């Protein structure tokens, strides 16, 4: 380990030990019954450098439901397949509203503000259904290729749990359908959506899977070109402005990296050309983002003085 990377190891270790001793505020995502059962004290961190050195702390090898973090991977797949046409169906603006809000859709004529809020991801699911015969298998195979990990799977248990209480997402899908921006069966779109959100990974796996966004669109481990440089830049930009729902501005202000959160308590953040950092802690703040994860990343980029700005 070279001196700079050793310095990062020590910084993360110190922050990890500090955060784990402090009060862990928030609650697990109780609107998805299976997620409410997860131990809220779990806490894992992984840092992967673009030279492939990786280290982790705490519960970094325990799998968890990545939930909305998978929306980045869904977007990458569909953007790769359709090119710029995707932006005819979904916008790239911060929403300023909660992730499951219906408020803007009628004003915006069924075009979601960005692909990371629920309405946006539902539209991207609809596009995926239209371009392949078996979208669940197609997406899962893409994730396995991007991550280099062929053991990654959907969680039937979590998907069914989320589907059992998916009243708001059902309303969103039907409302977008009524406005003409869902082309397939709302039931098929919602089924694909809950399965995509049910993907399970550990922090270590998550960092590897997102390595292409820190490496000009190329997977770190086998040089697989996931996206071109322009597409990679655009997805990182949307993560920077829209990756944390109506707390995206706060994350940019306090952390200064492109990132994406999920209500399973995971966060992944990118320092282009240098590293990928993943954090998991299931208790969420009022905006639906990991309380400890947000705290850890703010202290981490403050200590390292890292930022894309």
255, HSE (Cβ side, Cα atoms, 13 Å): 28
138 in a labelled binding site: no
According to DSSP, the β-strands at 44-49 and 54-58 are antiparallel
| Alpha-carbon gap, residue 172 to 296, rounded angstroms | 33
Terminal-to-terminal C-alpha distance of the chain: 27
150 in a labelled binding site: no
193 in a labelled binding site: yes
CA angle, residues 131, 136, 137, in degrees to nearest 5: 90
**CB 261 within 8 Å of CB 289:** yes
Task: Give the other-Cβ count within 10 Å of 233's Cβ.
Answer: 15
| Alpha-carbon gap, residue 294 to 306, rounded angstroms | 15
Q: How many helices (H) and strands (E) does the chain have?
A: 13, 7
Q: How long is the chain?
A: 309
Mapped onto helix, strand or coil, the DSSP state of residue 167 is helix
Torsion over CA: 282, 47, 245, 79 (sign): negative
245 in a labelled binding site: yes
Annotated binding-site residues read 68, 118, 162, 169, 193, 245, 263
Annotated binding-site residues for substrate read 68, 118, 162, 169, 193, 245, 263
């Amino acid at each position: 380990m070279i001196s700079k990377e050793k310095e990062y190891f020590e910084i993360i270790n110190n922050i990890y030990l500090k955060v784990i001793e402090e009060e862990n505020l928030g609650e697990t995502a109780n609107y998805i019954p299976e997620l409410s059962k997860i131990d809220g004290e779990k806490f894992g961190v992984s840092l992967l450098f673009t030279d492939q050195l990786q280290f982790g702390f705490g519960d970094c090898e325990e799998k968890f439901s990545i939930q909305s973090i998978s929306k980045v991977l869904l977007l990458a797949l569909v953007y790769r397949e359709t090119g710029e046409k995707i932006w005819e169906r979904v916008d790239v603006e911060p929403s300023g509203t909660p992730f499951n809000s219906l408020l803007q859709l009628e004003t915006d004529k069924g075009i979601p503000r960005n692909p990371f809020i629920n309405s946006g991801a539902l539209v991207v699911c609809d596009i995926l259904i239209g371009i392949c015969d078996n979208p669940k298998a197609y997406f899962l195979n893409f994730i396995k290729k991007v991550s280099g990990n062929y053991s990654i799977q959907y969680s039937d248990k979590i998907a069914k749990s989320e589907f059992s209480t998916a009243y708001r997402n059902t309303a969103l899908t039907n409302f977008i359908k009524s406005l003409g921006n869902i082309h397939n069966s709302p039931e098929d779109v919602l089924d694909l959506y809950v399965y995509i959100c049910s993907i399970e990974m550990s922090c270590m796996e998550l960092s590897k899977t997102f390595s292409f966004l820190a490496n000009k669109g190329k997977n770190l481990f086998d040089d697989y070109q996931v996206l071109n440089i322009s597409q990679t830049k655009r997805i990182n930009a949307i993560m920077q402005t829209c990756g944390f729902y109506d707390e995206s501005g706060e994350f940019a202000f306090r952390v200064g990296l492109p990132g994406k959160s999920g209500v399973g308590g995971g966060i992944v953040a990118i320092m282009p050309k240098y590293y990928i950092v993943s954090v998991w802690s299931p208790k969420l703040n009022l905006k639906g983002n990991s309380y400890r994860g947000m705290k850890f990343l703010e202290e981490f980029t403050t200590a390292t003085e890292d930022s894309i700005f």
